[in-house]
Amino acid sequence: MDVELLIRKHALANALKYDGKASQGAVIGKILGEAPELKNEMKSLGRHISQTINEVNSISQEDQRKELEKIAPELLEKKVHVERGLPELHNAQMGKVVLRLAPYPSGPLHIGNARPAVLNDEYAKKYEGRMLLVIDDTIGSEEKQIAPEAYDLIPQGMAWLGVKWHGNIIYKSDRLNYYYDAAGKLIEKGAAYACSCNSMDLRKNREMAKECIHRNQPVSETKNMWQKMLDGFFKEGEVVLRIKTGMQHPNPAFRDRVLFRISERPHPKVGKKYRVWPLLEFSWAIDDNLLGITHIIRGKDLMIESDMERFIWELFGWPNKEIIHLGIVQLEGVKISKSKSAKEVSSGDYEGWDDPRTWSLQSLERRGIMPQALRQFVLSFGCNANEITAPVDNLYTENRRLIEKEAPRYFFVHNPKEIRIDKAPHITSRLRKHPNNPEMGFRELSSNGIFYVTHEDYKSLGDGKVIRLMDCLNFIKNGYQSTYHSLTIEEYKKSGSRIIHWLPVSPDLKSVKVFMTDGTYLQGFGEPALKELKIGTIMQFERFGFCRYDHDEGGTMVFWFTHK
């Protein structure tokens, strides 16, 4: 068995799978999978495996692919195109499908809202139909406040995501008279009644399936109380309008639900023009009919609201709509809370609604996530009611495919540690701006024996081992002293243990801050060639990750971290 060939081919295959950087654990796993008899020799082979991985990681992906094609072509991944089609919609006719996206304006759309937005957009295109944008800005609970800035942030996020709506934006706060008219008709039918039970009694009666004294009051009494609600006679919390769904319904939450309640809070768009506001299911039952909606895509958490809509349509004799429920998508390592984000934005603890901790579409754009990557990511879940848990790294993989080929490379040393390498020659290193695209040009770094490396790298360097400064020179560290060893990569390959990035100690270095996804900043130095970057450029700091150049802050270049 050619052990060296075995190690080399699996290092190359793993590197090509993960953007040119092989992982030692994964490579060892593949080696033992093919040659389990080598398990007892792993300790002695470890250094050779590590050295091979460093060599492989130091060459371009193009060269990695060429070498693997030569020595083990069977390990090259075959790219198979899979068509990610969406299931057909029931009762959908070409050119006649009308969908709607109905965000509540408590903040901008976030990564979780992207799925229904994209699905509505895709189906509108698929059936050559229309998708309406309806801002669901009826007054909600005390805990769920409207954020005035969301009126602009929501359509901005949709435009960035490439989601198109037809016609003007519709605001529910402009449509209260439609809801009042429908409520009046339900009252006339004897299907709704005004109730002054307090919330505790209302809840208790539902649990016991007990009718309250107001349920069978004359229609004239309900009409009188309803008018008083509209005229301001009652205060907030004193009276609600309820619908007669049946107090014997098997689901207590469905029993005679509330349709309207009084709120004294001023509305950010219409002020105090209205004080009686409909609940979500009633306003949507009316609008889905009036707006000609044919298909509704919504979360599975709104099942009872869907049942309520159907109940109201039946009362009015209106045709049913097709309702598609989506399962909840949980992203590993991601916590999304609009209410928490609103609080932190308001207090100034977050940078704004585009702070990466909000996971808003604005934050993803500012970090350097491509809208096409987000669309592909959410479309990979399909359109179904399955509960899904997915790593956010899948989004980053989609994004990396789009940006990797165009992102220039530079060195950034955060938390810098200065080291002097004795006897090091003066060197001018010529580095490619992109390992696989020489047409992007080169950048030069001149060193005089004094370097910056990261504190983390410095602490991890073992004494007596050959270390390579990437594309520069090799040295050996012994205690606090570092000594020049050799110049070439070939010399390093003989006994080297690690390759790290670096910067020369120079007044020409750029001051750099990187805003991380957890809201912290990493500070350090970047190479002088960074001055060529234009604001908005997405690039890669080698051995650190992709970043987007955001702004200049008094001479310090500020980047937002995209992902590894």
Q: Tens digit of pLDDT for each residue in 83-138?
A: 357 999 999 999 999 999 999 999 999 999 999 999 999 999 999 999 999 999 99
* 427 φ/ψ angles, rounded to the nearest 5 degrees: -135, 140
Q: What is the pLDDT of residue 125?
A: 96
Q: Give the Cα-Cα-Cα angle 356, 359, 362 (nearest 5 degrees).
A: 80
Q: What is the pLDDT of residue 253?
A: 94
Q: Are 539 and 552 in contact (CB under 8 A)?
A: no
Number of neighbours of residue 138 by Cβ within 10 angstroms:
24
Query: Where in the chain are the domains?
Result: 3-75, 93-326, 409-563
What is the tens place of the pLDDT at every residue in 360-381? 999 999 999 999 999 999 999 9
Number of neighbours of residue 220 by Cβ within 10 angstroms:
9
Taking residues 260-282, what's their average pLDDT?
A: 96
* 458 φ/ψ angles, rounded to the nearest 5 degrees: -60, -45
Q: Are 514 and 525 in contact (CB under 8 A)?
A: no
Compute CA 307 distance to the chain's CA centroid, rounded to the nearest angstrom. Answer: 31
Q: What is the pLDDT of residue 27?
A: 87
What is the tens place of the pLDDT at every residue in 544-555? 999 999 999 999
Q: What is the mean pLDDT of the chain?
A: 93
Name the band, by pLDDT with cuts 50, 70 and 90, for residue 272.
very high
Taking residues 229-238, what's their average pLDDT?
A: 96
557-to-14, 224, 532 alpha-carbon distances in Å: 34, 66, 12
Taking residues 301-311, what's their average pLDDT?
A: 96
Name the band, by pLDDT with cuts 50, 70 and 90, for residue 225.
very high
58-67, 103-112, 333-342, range with greatest mean pLDDT: 103-112
CA distance 195 to 203: 13
Name the band, by pLDDT with cuts 50, 70 and 90, for residue 61.
confident
The residues near 525 (Cβ < 8 Å, ≥ 6 apart) are: 412, 413, 416, 452, 503, 509, 510, 511, 512
Query: In the chain, what percentage of residues exceed pLDDT 90?
Result: 81
Q: Which CATH architecture has domain 93-326?
A: 3-Layer(aba) Sandwich (3.40)
pLDDT at 15 over 70: yes
Q: What is the pLDDT of residue 34?
A: 83
What is the tens place of the pLDDT at every residue in 145-193? 999 999 999 999 999 999 999 999 999 999 999 999 999 999 999 999 9
Pick the CATH number of 409-563 from 3.40.50.300, 2.40.240.10, 1.10.10.10, 3.90.550.10: 2.40.240.10
Tokens 């593949």, residue?
Answer: 30
Q: What is the pLDDT of residue 1?
A: 64
DSSP single-letter state for residue 461: P
